[in-house]
Structure 1
């Protein structure tokens, strides 16, 4: 790698768009290979798009939107409106990132599908308490 590309960080918009591609793809149960094939790309190229390492051209984003059955604007949801003159709400951006990270894991998608089916609020809170305790224990275990 040369000096110009070695220290290059992905543009935040490219990261956001790539994350939205990944989230939608996973929600539909489409593999990177399947998406790549439908777009005439390699799965490595789809990986690069999803990581924000490569920018998605307008025509390719249009094809991705068509394949994943969403409007092109879906990929920009959660970003500040460039014409609005206001910055995106930090709390909203954080919440969007948390949901996006959660939904990029197979377990997250499955949990998101089944959790609302737990009818009793008390049981949902108990599940949440259990997950929090496991996460806290995991963090303490990493520090030890």
Structure 2
């Protein structure tokens, strides 16, 4: 058990939401159009994308079909099932709920492995500089 309440989103919930949003935007699909394909409201799609609501197995299956991917797409780059520290969960939650987080994740997905690595190194350097000033 992770110790978090059953209703609290996990890192995986945020990742599935970020991958969902990235793919939907990549296809030029609106939240309303995806919601219609799933038989839910666009607000529900928003909640899935933010990781605020978990995606059930059957809905994940429908999402994969609507977005033209297999289910594994939503879990690419996921960490092993060992529970991440609560601090990581809090950081991921803050990232996904920030204004810039989902957009950054969308672009990060598209830029390729070399650029991702460079961007990660830049973020690390900036975080270290901020930490040293504190």
The TM-score by the shorter chain falls in which range? 0.5 to 0.7
Partner of 2:10: 11
Q: What stretches of structure 2 of length at least 5 have no aligned partner?
A: 85-95, 112-134
| Structure 1 ranges of 4+ moved more than 2 A | 97-104
Number of equivalent positions: 93
Question: TM-score, normalised to structure 1's length?
Answer: 0.54
Rounded to whole Å, the distance in 1 between the matches of 2:33 and 2:103 is 21
Report if aligned partners of 1:25, 1:31 keep a CA contact under 8 Å in 2.
yes
Provide the secondary structure at the position in 1 that maps to 2:78.
coil
2:103 to 85, 98, 101: 101
1:52-92, Cα deviation, whole Å (9 max, x unpaired): 0000000000000000000100000111233xx7x8xxxxx
Cα root mean square deviation, aligned? 3.3
Decide which structure has the larger Cα Rg and report it: 1
Partner of 1:78: 77
Report if aligned partners of 1:20, 1:100 keep a CA contact under 8 Å in 2.
no
Higher relative contact order (CA 8 A, sep 6+): 2
1:75-124, Cα deviation, whole Å (9 max, x unpaired): 00111233xx7x8xxxxxxxxx99963364xxx59xx69xxxxxxxxxxx
Question: TM-score, normalised to structure 2's length?
Answer: 0.58
